[in-house]
Structure 1
Amino acid sequence: MNEELRTRTRAALDQLRSELLDQRTADGHWVGQLSSSALSTATAVSAIAALVVHGDVAVPDSDREMISRGVNYLRACQNDDGGFGDTDRSLSNIATSYLVLAASALADQAVGQRLGDDSLASLDAYIQRSGGIAGLRQRYGTDKTFVVPIMTNMAIAGLIDWDQVAALPFEAAVFPQSMYRLLRMPVVSYAIPALVAIGQARHFHGKRTFAPWRWVRSRAIGRTMDVLRRMQPQSGGYLEATPLTSFVVMSLAVTQRGDHAVCRDGLRFLRESMLDDGSWPIDTNLATWVTSLTIDALASDPDDDGAWCSRELVQWHLSCQHLVRHPFTGAEPGGWGWTDLSGAVPDSDDTPGAILALERMRGWIESGTGPEPPSAAGQQDLVREIDRAIVRGQRWLIKLQNRNGGWPTFCRGWGKLPFDRSSTDLTAHAMRALTVSCGSSQDIAGAADGAIRRGRAFLQRSQRPDGAWLPLWFGNQDRPDEDNPVYGTSKVLAASRRVSLSDGGVDMALQYLIDSQNDDGGWGGGPSITRYWAGSGDHLVSSVEETALAVDAIVSAGGGNDRADQAIIAGVRFLLDSIESGRHRVPWPIGFYFAKLWYHERLYPLIFTAAALGKALQSK
């Protein structure tokens, strides 16, 4: 990198740092902002409308007004092809399109509001072109986690017969959580509330099963409702997620249980999480996750002085660690979830992120340039508190590791359905966190080494012949399978030095990234982002997020040859041009929420780019 490019990079990184620091809350952490979601809005509208139509409860005018505002938001979201996408920058998909159709029908029944005739005709044409119900089932394969809720929503709206909705074994929820993986549940681990509520709605309204089993299911209703209540967080929102909470509320409404405590608290969550534009986001926020990522990005700057590291920030991050067994998944204490809100569930991506962030902050505390405890003894106490939290998190990760050596998201050994299986990006992140050493971690050093060794073997087996790794929670909507090898490969490479991946595997992965670089110097992206920016006269293909991740990964893995160095330089130039044009303030939907629900996060391009430019300045 020549002096001119270094000067530009330094100036751009200073700008990004300023923008990130301006986004902090009063106590020094970050919250970010998730995209408004047509999918979430449709499910929330359906849930509130179902209470009006079926709930057998008094619904105030303010709730009816929320239905109307939600429909108005949806009217403005329809794509040119007639379908609806998950976010304002998402391609149409059949799942969201069906949910909007159901929301329109229920809103019409509840308050006389619906999409216009032309919009409905275009929507119907899109659905038919996409294969109808068969196309919906094809999108999700054998995983019923999202197909059955969508069809339940349609049945509640009167669009299909209840007998078309698959029966779910809600009675299995009476068993201890430790047995769920043995019962071969047809839904992923995080969907138990939907399994219970939707399963019961289908039991009440669908074709009756044979007498002995019908009796078993009827006897299980009360006990499974107790499970549903125990799983519900203080906020009322399961996982802080609008779709999951909405499916529970509408299922209870259609069985005339709108006054049940679960339904009341779910409705309270929906009321409190509606945005000013009449929409709902896919989840409330990712505060813990984006804070961990931001800390790592700021600390990657070779000139970083740690002034952002306050005692309040450290204590906030420590407070996000779950210290009791979690009622939702049965997870043991020690992990972190994606937010500090009550609906978060500890997982194997946020836990490593928090551990690595605490490692960064501990370094600043020990150097004396970070937060200022009242005394040297207070400083030592804070370091010991961080060390204890790190070790708890590492123990949690070690226990979560699957037999195949990889890490799942929430529950060990749950199954092979999407978002429950072991994944490469989570595995690399967990392994990286297990390399963190602190004074109180010596007693788990052997277990950590063994876990890393098994994880390394899993990654070796999972690497594709072209050198790439595929991630779990991130995708690219322009790729045929909606996967994102740039993200997955970048995340594994980012950990490669710390976890000693084989040179052959690293070389293959680096070659994949270098060969995947676009003509504009960036990575990823595709036709949808090109169309989005066409109005400015640009012909851009790459995304800021994926480019930043790729640059970070190539630098972190050591580069090592002229092609790698040239790829870094071209990537850095793309990022600098994007910052100068303001593209880093326009996040792109590369994030997957549960069951392939797209989202974008306002801070991702800022965080990823700051980390990449900081790493680039560290390199020679």
Structure 2
Amino acid sequence: MKNMTDLEIRFKELSEILLSEMNENGFWSGQLSSSALGVAVAVAALHFYDADQNAAQIKAGLSWLANNLNTDGSYGDTPESPGNISTTLLVYAALNLYANEDEKIAAVQKQSADWLLTQNIDLRTGDVATAILAHYKTDYTFSVPILTMCALCGIPKKDGFQRIPQLPFELALMPQKFYRMLNLSVVSYAIPALIAVGIVILKKKRSGKIGKWIRGGAEKKALKILQKSMPESGGFLEAIPLTAFVGLSLIHAGYRDLDVVEKGIAFLKRTQREDGGWPIDIDLSTWVTTLSIKSLGNRKDEVLAEEQQNKLTKHLKSVQNKIVHPFNGTSPGGWGWTNYSGSVPDCDDTPGAILALLRLNAPENVKHEVIAGVEWLFELQNSDGGFPTFSKGWGKLPFDQSCADLTGHCLLALATARSVYKNEIPADFVLRLNNALRNAFEYLRKHQQKNGAWLPLWFGNQWEKAHQNPVYGTARVLAYLKEALLAEEDDLAFQEELATLIPLAERFLVEVQNEDGSWGGAKNINGTIEETALSVTALADSKHKNACEGGLKWLDESFSQNGLKSAPVGLYFASLWYDEKLYPLTAYLEAITKSLHTR
């Protein structure tokens, strides 16, 4: 695909597909991959709540698990993923609830047990905890809930709770502003699990009387905090595993009739798919909507009618957080990843929404929302100049630390806002913008690796040795920097500094391109539409035309042969993989739009 006519044809084709994916409310919801882990934990929660009442949902979930077993007996996070210990173990535990009464389930469970044995987990010895705790190390966000569910499902048969660390749920009683000072063993947004799982461990584990007495006194207060943080939808973070872990823990702690449990079970039943599966999260509607708008670039008016753009604007305005958020305590002004009530504002969706609003509207129509979003970003910026995901300054565990891809995205949003509103905002606000931009640049400069790469946080590659994705991180940051250069027309000094980071990043992407023209997560890893398209976008306005042509040719062939096949590049907490239906579409469309614009 080298000539303009081919690119225009593909642009029209992809933009028509994009429009067809828009929902009846005028925005995009996408579709996350189903997850064996999500299915396993949801089935267990429904079983413990009322196995008879939920028999149909449980049967459908078990059937989904039987139909999605890997050939080696393992389970991965998506049907396209290689097996991993955590997911396979959770599925084994869920199957254990029914293996004695169903031969087919018992046969599937045995295959999983055989695979776990190849990973040095011998379920006959009862020593499950050692392997899981060693895998997750000091991060108990996922290891302790996994071991808790196993114990509740009878894995191992005796003293399942004795090897499980006690989560300090009483620390949730501290004001949120003090969380960053606490050496919490779970990430900031897993507080519901900290409370619910911590309480059931306290109930089930034999431990000292003094410790039980102290924690027991905090139990009721912690439950009130848990109830206060539950969204109207019933889904904590709109996440199936987190909601299910909370539910099954509280049920076994003696709190089956709590409103938190009833709403959580209703959420699980409502979000089950027709085939019996569940995704990890209900959707990423805000994220995929802003990606869709971004993918159209300067051609949006050709694709989106004025009425559609107005609907998108109205939607994005409506899902901006307007209160002090009960989950992470941040001020109004941020955006989370979905329109559902369990969403939490974060530092990728907020800059995405700011930029989308400015792409759709005259600046004066969205000034209030954009400035509120910018102020929210000011509040979240860490002392190292970078931006974290949800909470400023925690820094104890990976998802509470600054990261390059989010920082690059925030830098672009701040630079664009400064350029658009520079003559309309007070001098002190401009100064805050200048400082924020300077600090974000310094973070990116310090964290660019010697080979030119940046590492992302929420995206990885399951075939890369360390599960990292320097191609995604570098392509994203590089594209953000180039867009920021265009926005910074009046600040020549800042332009020059931004430009110093670009050549080495471009060279890195060119050097790791595969011989067939594609990009994977790193050199010699099979290419995906997502990684290839994002790399083409980042390089399209550079001197590396041959690399871009090779990438476009590979994309054309891949699309012709396999359609818009999504890859598990998304990374949830605790190395949990997912793919998203709209990722390959929006990435490919953005690459075509950018290539047309730069020719």
Q: TM-score, length-normalised on structure 1?
A: 0.89
Distance across 2 between alignment mates of 1:19 and 1:239: 29
2:137 aligned partner, one-letter code: G
1:112-191 map, 5 Å? 112-113=101-102, 116-132=105-121, 133=128, 134-160=130-156, 161-191=160-190
8 Å Cα contact 2:404/2:454 also seen in 1: yes
What is the CA-CA distance between 1:518 and the residue it aligns to?
0.8
* Alpha-carbon offset, residue 416 of structure 1: 2.9
Q: Identity of paired residues, percent?
A: 39
Compared CA separation, residues 482 and 441, structure 1 to 2 (3 A): farther
Whole-Å Cα distance in 2 between the matches of residues 215 and 302 of structure 1? Answer: 62
Tell me if structure 2 keeps the 8 A contact 1:82–1:122.
yes
What is the 5 A alignment of 1:207-222? Answer: 207-211=206-210, 213-222=211-220
Given candidates 578, 587, 595, the residue that maps to 1:599 is 578
Structure 1 partner of 2:333: 334
CA distance in 2, matches of 1:473, 1:209: 39
Is 2:396 the counterpart of 1:416?
Answer: yes
Contact preservation (8 Å) 2:183, 2:396: no
- Alpha-carbon offset, residue 126 of structure 1: 1.7
- Structure 2 counterpart of 1:520: 516
Query: SS where residue 571 of structure 2 aligns?
Result: strand
Residues 442 and 595 of structure 1, relative CA distance in 2, 3 Å threshold: farther
Determine helix, strand or coil for the equivalent of 1:310: helix
Partner residue, 2:27: 29
Q: Deviations over 1:375-424 (max 9, x none)?
A: xxxxxxxx544111000000100110001111000000012312111100
For 2:145 and 2:200, the matched residues in 1 are separated by 11
Aligned with 2:448 (options 447, 453, 463): 463
What amino acid is the match of 1:577?
E
Which has the higher mean CA deviation after the structures are superposed, 130-139 or 7-16?
A: 130-139
1:115 CA displacement: 5.5
CA distance in 1, matches of 2:444, 2:208: 45
On the 8 A contact 2:512/2:524 being kept in 1, the answer is: no
Q: 1 CA distance for matches of 2:466 and 2:63?
A: 32
Instruction: Call closer, same or farther: CA 1:113–1:189 in 2, change over 3 Å.
Output: farther
* Separation of aligned partners in 2, 1:184 and 1:602: 37
Distance 1:401 1:39 in 2: 33
Deviation of the 1:551 alpha carbon: 0.5
The Cα RMSD (Å) is 2.0
What does the per-residue CA deviation read over 1:500-552, in whole Å, with 9 as the maximum and x for residues that have no partner?
A: 454443211111100111111110069999xxxxxxxxxxx310010011011
Within the candidate set 561, 569, 589, 1:581 is matched to 561
1:274 is matched with which residue? Answer: 272
- Listed one character per residue, the Cα deviations across residues 114-156 of structure 1 (whole Å, up to 9, x for unaligned) are 7544432321122122233444334322211000000001011
Q: Is the 8 A contact 1:51 1:254 kept in 2?
A: no
Please say if residues 82 and 125 of structure 1, whose CA atoms lie closer than 8 Å, have aligned partners that are also in contact. Answer: yes
CA separation in 1, counterparts of 2:88 and 2:303?
49
Moved more, 123-132 or 445-454: 123-132
CA separation of 1:335/1:458 partners in 2, compared to 1, >3 Å: closer, same or farther?
same
- Tell me which residue corresponds to 1:448: 433
Partner of 1:428: 408
Gaps of 5+ in 2: 122-127, 486-494
Deviates more, 1:177-186 or 1:494-503: 494-503
Task: Please identify, of 8-17 and 130-139, the stretch whose mean Cα deviation from structure 2 is larger.
Answer: 130-139
Q: Residues 278 and 227 of structure 1: is their aligned pair in 2 closer, same or farther, counting only changes over 3 Å?
A: same
SS at match of 2:449: coil
Aligned to 2:261: 263
Contact 1:68 1:107 in 2 (8 A): no
Work out whether 1:549 is the aligned partner of 2:549. no
Partner Cα distance (1:527, 1:519) in 2: 10
Deviations 1:33-85 (A, max 9, x none): 11111110011011111224xxxxxx553x12211111110011111221100
In the alignment, which residue of structure 2 is the partner of 1:390? Answer: 370
Structure 2 residue corresponding to 1:508, chosen from 504, 510, 521: 504
What amino acid does structure 2 have at the position aligned with 1:70? Answer: G
* Mapped partners of 2:359, 2:133: distance in 1: 45
1:244 aligned residue: 242
Q: What is the aligned partner in structure 1 of residue 196 from structure 2?
A: 197
Between 135-144 and 22-31, the greater mean CA deviation after superposition: 135-144
Q: Which residue of 2 aligns with 1:69?
A: 60
Pick the aligned partner of 1:569 from 528, 542, 549. 549
Partner residue of 2:460 out of 475, 489, 501: 475
Instruction: Kindly indicate whether the alpha-carbon contact (under 8 Å) linking 1:419 and 1:595 is maintained by their aligned counterparts in 2.
Output: no
Contact 2:455 2:470 in 1 (8 A): yes
Could you tell me how far 1:578 is from its partner in structure 2?
2.2
Retained in 1: the 8 A contact 2:568–2:577? yes
Does the 8 Å CA contact 1:301/1:618 hold for their aligned counterparts?
no
Provide the secondary structure at the position in 2 that maps to 1:592: strand
- 2:464 maps to amino acid: R
Q: Would the aligned equivalents of 1:71 and 1:107 in 2 still touch at CA under 8 Å?
A: no
* Offset of residue 593 of structure 1: 1.4
CA distance in 1, matches of 2:596, 2:586: 16
- How far off is 1:108 after superposition? 4.4
Aligned AA (2:180): R
Deviation at 1:260, TM superposition (A): 1.0
- Post-superposition shift, 1:307? 2.4
1:19 aligns with 2:10: no
**Equivalent position of 1:358 in the other structure:** 357
Partner of 1:375: none
What is the aligned partner in structure 1 of residue 596 from structure 2?
Answer: 617
2:47 aligns to what SS in structure 1? helix
In the superposition, relative to structure 1, how do residues 107 and 329 fare at CA in structure 2: closer, same or farther (>3 Å)? farther
**CA positional deviation for 1:300:** 4.2
CA distance in 2, matches of 1:406, 1:122: 45
AA aligned opposite 1:129:
T
Moved more, 231-240 or 518-527: 518-527
Counterpart-to-counterpart distance in 1, 2:298 and 2:521: 25
The CA distance in 2 between the partners of 1:569 and 1:198, in whole Å, is 52
TM-score, normalised by the number of residues in structure 2: 0.92
Aligned to 1:346: 345
TM-superposed CA distance for 1:570, in Å, is: 0.7
Q: Is the 8 A contact 2:469 2:522 kept in 1?
A: no
**Structure 1 residue aligned with 2:124:** none
For the 8 Å contact 2:518–2:550, the answer to whether it is kept is: yes
Whole-Å separation in 1 of the counterparts to 2:40 and 2:46: 10
Measured in 2, the distance between the counterparts of 1:527 and 1:489 equals 13
Partner of 1:538: none
